[in-house]
Amino acid sequence: MTTTIHGLDPATGDVLDLQVDTSITRMTRRPQEAGEDLPFLAPGLIDLQVNGFGGIDINGPEVSAERITAMSDALAGIGVTTWVPTIVTASEEAICHALRCIAETRASSPALAHAIPFAHVEGPFLSAEDGPRGVHDIEQIRPLDADEVTRWQSAGPVGLVTVSPHTDDAPEQIARIVSGGVMVAVGHTHGSTPQITAAVDAGASLSTHLGNGIFPRLARHPNPIWTQLAEDRLTCGLIADGHHLPPETLEVMLRAKGPDRAFLVSDATELAGREPGLHRTAVGGEVELTEDGRLSYVGTEMLAGAASDVAAGLRFVLRSTSLSLPDALALVTRTPGRVLGRDTTLRTGAVADLVTLTTDGTIQQVWRHGALIERP
């Protein structure tokens, strides 16, 4: 069934008239007519780091293909039509179990295979030191091991691994992982500038939630944040929930990287979309979710992941930084799409994953593979 969708191009203000089924079958462009009141039209949002959402945890023992499918539907409801399930530090058995569930989900339909391109394994090859380790289980932190990554690939679609390149063998291990078709991100690290540079030389191409997963106090310079900001070969993920990065820090990072080398991630946990209060999670234990959306270990200042989403992150960027709507949208469409090897440009033949939104980034309607999604 063909659907007609109208909206404004955020970059030019032209009206885009689309005809879609599961893909965009026709697109025309015209000037906006006097009195014509239309929302902006953009590709569906992309989130490259989702641990959980709406009471479902990728890392919990109850994870299943059915629950991951429900999570994908819930994310589509807020405008996120493509997302990467993120598995945190755990035993090899637990990581492989989650990967098998993700593989089963993707195999169940072409639409889900498109919505979930691969899995991100954040750990267990991270710094064991307090601060850089974050809330990752210290008992499961282990040395960087390309052979273990190969074993994961037998269980499911590993596309990205976050590592700390602080050991002498890190460049060799990273090169082996990349040669196996898996992207490597630098994160949760106390690595030095030479160690991070060597990791990039070996093939690391991303930074995981830059500015977080690090010591609360750092040397003025050098430090891992400066090194990664200055390294043009690294495209960095940023958590824009107002808690992980203050507005002025986010502004500076976005100016340093620009919208072509930065993207927003939620780092969402199962508590995203839940009520404030005390909660017990599968991987974080006792945590507190405050009224303003801060998620932390009970009785501490340590963040325990996030309870927001990239749609909210888009709105935060628009109200808290100097970025325009087109540049802010690039952080949740074009740049993460490029990481996935996808062209998210609205064009004839593109998958009809679409959103309409207002000037402040509020999502109004969502289409996934051309079907209008019922929103919460």
Q: What is the percentage of the chain residues whose pLDDT exceeds 70?
A: 93
Reduced to 3 states (helix: H, G, I; strand: E, B; else coil), residue 184 is strand
| Alpha carbon distance 258, 241 (integer Å) | 19
Q: What is the pLDDT of residues 53-84, one digit of tens each?
A: 988 999 999 999 999 999 999 999 999 999 99
Q: What is the pLDDT of residues 221-236, one digit of tens each?
A: 999 999 999 999 999 9
Q: Angle at which helices 146-155 and 92-107 pack, to 10 degrees?
A: 40
Query: What is the rounded average pLDDT for all residues in the chain?
Result: 93
Q: What is the pLDDT of residues 115-165, one digit of tens each?
A: 999 999 999 999 999 999 988 999 999 999 999 999 999 999 999 999 999
Quick one: pLDDT at residue 15? Answer: 97
Residue 247 has pLDDT above 90, yes or no: yes
pTM of the model: 0.95
Q: For residues 255-290, b (16+ Cβ closer than 10 Å) or e, as one string? A: ebbebebbbbbbbbbbbbbeeeeebebbbbeebbbe
Amino acid 249 reads T
Q: What is the pLDDT of residues 254-273, one digit of tens each?
A: 999 999 999 999 998 877 66
Q: Angle at which helices 170-179 and 193-202 pack, to 10 degrees?
A: 30
Q: Tokens at residue 325, please?
A: 């709507």
**Residue 282's pLDDT band (boundaries 50, 70, 90)?**
low
Reduced to 3 states (helix: H, G, I; strand: E, B; else coil), residue 207 is strand
Residue 275 has pLDDT above 80, yes or no: no
Quick one: pLDDT at residue 300? Answer: 64
- CA–CA distances in Å: residue 209 to residues 134, 149, 232, 250, 368: 12, 21, 16, 11, 27
Residue 208 has pLDDT above 90, yes or no: yes
Quick one: pLDDT at residue 284? Answer: 58
| Alpha carbon distance 79, 25 (integer Å) | 21
Residue that has been written with the tokens 């023992």 in this structure: 61
**Residue 277's pLDDT band (boundaries 50, 70, 90)?**
confident
Between 170 and 282, name the one with better pLDDT: 170
Peptide bond into 132 cis (omega under 30): no
Residue 274 has pLDDT above 90, yes or no: no
Quick one: pLDDT at residue 35? Answer: 83
Residue 207 has pLDDT above 90, yes or no: yes
- CA–chain centroid gap for 345, Å, is 19
Q: Is 307 left (phi over 0), alpha (psi -120 to 50) or beta?
A: alpha
Order of strands, sheet of 363-368, starting from the edge strand that comes earlier in the sequence: 24-30, 15-20, 3-8, 40-43, 354-357, 363-368, 371-372
